Amino acid sequence: MLNKFMKRGHRKSKSESIDNAGVGFGPGNVTVNHASRATVNSAESQAVTLSLPLNPGGVIEILPFLRDVAVSERPALFLRKLKVCWVQCDFSDTLKGVREKEIKRQTLLELVDFIQSGSCKLNEAMQEELIRMVSVNVFRCLPPTAYENTGSEAAADPDDEELYLEPSWPHLQIVYEILLRYLVSSETDTKVAKRYIDHVFVLKLLDLFDSEDPREREYLKTILHRVYGKFMVHRPFIRKAINNIFYRFIFETERHCGIAELLEILGSIINGFALPMKEEHKLFLSRALIPLHKPKSIAVYHQPLSYCITQFVEKDYKLADTVIRGLLKYWPVTNCQKEVLFLGELEEVLEATQAAEFQRCMIPLFRQIGRCLNSPHFQVAERALYFWNNEHIVSLIAQNRNAILPLIFEALEKNIQGHWNQAVNGLTGNVQRMFQEMDAELFEECEREYFEKETKARHLEEQRELTWKTLEAVAAQAQR
């Protein structure tokens, strides 16, 4: 076990090759909790060690190829080869156990070909041992993540130059490929497979999403998606388990490496929701997806999150009000980059919003947009002004201009008079001309009210200054 805690010493930069195994595998187009990181039970590990197919000299026995033996002998040989793959190799030292590593790697490759070819149907015993071999190899204690070592607040950053790569990936990748080929095989009987790919197995897979290695998370995403599609009995459980990961991330740790991958899986799941939508799914939107806008590390997973949110609104337009008010609730106050992300997502949601739902939330919405228009950060102001480039949003604004223009007229005038960025000034002028063309009379009325308000404010300021000067004069005379 000491070797597993030494994995942190094997850090590699992004510039190194992603596929250290030299195997042309990958997830391709195949579309829990951190505190409980999975590990193999010590008793099970001991049983694995005692039952390895070793020859009297203590070296791994070299077995014949599956294709070279009779069909009747292949099941027994397949089981023996699975036991060879139980051997845990030490990747902390590249010069240690080179022969054993290569034997195991070649054996794993042969198992991939055997399962993919379908030359021999896997019986129940073979499937049980296959899943056991996969479990022994992939379910392990994950090494401490970067934020645990450094105390940093952010989760895994995709731009981190010192991205951690799993040292045992040359073997681990092929084990994942074996599991994937087993799941996608038409020969796999779901009724038999679900005895071994059970809830415990699924939970341990979900635990591994906290791995720092992006290659592992990509395989896990593909595999979990296949499990969800193949085993209907597991679907509610998988959704509930993912919910629990999100809750822990949002309300406790705000640290998890695999939130983006889990959201990508959910995006595909949400796309397949039947209508009318179940109450369970609506609760998931309001209790898990919308609060995911709260953590500081939202930039890492914002794109798949935005896709999930938009899918809900496109499927049920009545959810637009819930989503928009949820975004306003978690709107960032001091993080301008996060604010730009929110504005982009808000535009996508508004594109799928109908007039009735828009009217329910337009007052608080455009109060917030007005504040964004006056943001000293030019990207925030610019992104808010881009809303008027969207035809659907402009049509919604035009239908409700009597309520919207008074809310943002002052912000537009302040930009024209004093915003430091020329691009923002130009875009603001375009928006003002658009409102004039929509309704010149309303625009003139708002302009008149704005100047009256400004005149009154200047008069109050002059009165205040005069009062202070009078008090200063009285105080000076009293001192004399």
Do 133 and 82 form a contact (C-beta atoms < 8 A)? yes
Do 155 and 257 form a contact (C-beta atoms < 8 A)? yes
Residue type, 100: E
For 160-181, b/e burial (b = at least 16 CB within 10 A) is eeebbbbbbbbbbbbbbbbbbb
More confident residue, 155 or 60: 60
Tens of pLDDT, residue by residue over 426-437, are 999 999 999 999
Tens of pLDDT, residue by residue over 28-53, are 443 333 333 443 343 343 333 333 44
pLDDT at 24: 46
Mean pLDDT of the chain: 85
* Residue 345 reports pLDDT greater than 50: yes
Could you give the CA distance from residue 324 to residue 369 in angstroms, rounded to a whole number?
12
Q: Which two tokens stand for residue 277?
A: 């939508």
Question: For the whole prediction, is pTM greater than 0.75?
Answer: yes
